[in-house]
Amino acid sequence: MQFSYIVHKITNSRDLEFIRNTIEYDDKSQIDLLTSLKQQQALVLGEAFAFSSLIKNYRCKPFTTQRDTENIYIGQMHRQKMTEKFIKSLINKLNKKKTAGLIHLRPLSENVYIAKVWATEPKIIDENTCPDGPFKFYFITNEEGIYVGAVLDMGQDLHWFIDKKYRGQGFLTNAMKKTILFHLFQDREEQKISIDKFQISDTNFKSSEKVALSLGFVKSINNKYLLHRDTYQADHLIHGQNSEITEDRMKELKKHINYLGCSLRLIHSEIEAKFSETEYTEELKELIDEINRHPIKFEDAWFDTKR
């Protein structure tokens, strides 16, 4: 049975271990954050959520009525539509070549790219995670190089989407069967996908189920379909293909690294002025020194790719 969780602050080690062992969650490092959550903060994770996230509850009321239950269901439907709207927007940005530096692609094959995607640029927040990314995607192109679909890898689940204009032409099935599943099974023993006819239209449900079954997924329980890696074991690892970083972009990235070093130096100055020299200020200074070495290290690595 699969569950979804809204978990507030936990400090008991046994409770933390229970969460780790109970939920199917590929980034269990976030569970360690539960010991330091503030009031009204919670970690949401599980099959009802497209992404695991840290949230803040401004109003917390118990759901006890039938209407409240209906509101939860409507909320899940809304998340489904927003997820598809988000993926559609990513495909449009890729086709218009307007990714604003938030989508980083690596070719795996002629028609499949693996990508790290950020919803927005990182900003100053009070959590020690990045709720806006990166998210792991596979993007699919047709023979003309037009992006036609995507698969979001959530570890415990997949969410696939093909633009309406390109559905029924085999793009998803071919990409999954020839590349994506082989790549996925390089770091896992099984893969699940949720296909719930109450959250998508009947037509989309039948189409998605048909694709899943053709790929070898077996229907399980709670709208889950399960596939073991036995069918998709490659003779060699799929690493993808390197691509070029222009010299101008290299210089721009060096500036970003320098900025990080200067920002930490500013923070270090304030902390040292307030606390004097401590074990922590020494550790922070060592981190700053290491970051300050990276612009040159990065430039050297860039030149190595040119040889």
With 70 as the cut, is the pLDDT of residue 300 above it? Answer: yes
In tens, the pLDDT along 275-299 reads 999 999 999 999 999 999 999 999 9
Instruction: Report pLDDT for 179.
Output: 95
SS3 286: helix
Instruction: Report pLDDT for 221.
Output: 84
Give the right CATH number for 74-231 from 1.10.260, 1.10.10, 2.130.10, 3.40.630.
Answer: 3.40.630
Which residue in the block uniquely carries the two structure tokens 């503030």?
38
Residue in 34, 16, 46 with CA at minimum distance from that of residue 154: 46
In tens, the pLDDT along 215-267 reads 999 998 888 999 998 889 878 888 899 989 999 999 999 999 999 999 999 99
Instruction: Report pLDDT for 170.
Output: 95
Report the alpha-carbon distance of residue 128 to residue 113 in Å, rounded: 29
User: Under a CB-based contact definition with an 8 Å cutoff, are residues 184 and 176 in contact?
Assistant: no
In tens, the pLDDT along 42-84 reads 877 766 665 666 676 655 454 444 444 434 333 443 444 447 8
CA distances from 252 to 65, 89, 94, 259, 275 (A): 55, 26, 21, 11, 35
With 80 as the cut, is the pLDDT of residue 91 above it? Answer: yes
Q: Is 285 exposed, middle or buried, given 0-12, 13-18 or 19+ CB atoms closer than 10 A? A: middle
Residue in 76, 52, 39 with CA at minimum distance from that of residue 135: 52
Share of the chain above pLDDT 70, in %: 80
Instruction: Report pLDDT for 50.
Output: 56
**Domain range list for the chain:** 4-60, 74-231, 247-306
Q: Which two tokens stand for residue 188?
A: 């896992």
Report the alpha-carbon distance of residue 115 to residue 106 in Å, rounded: 6
Q: Is 292 exposed, middle or buried, given 0-12, 13-18 or 19+ CB atoms closer than 10 A? A: middle
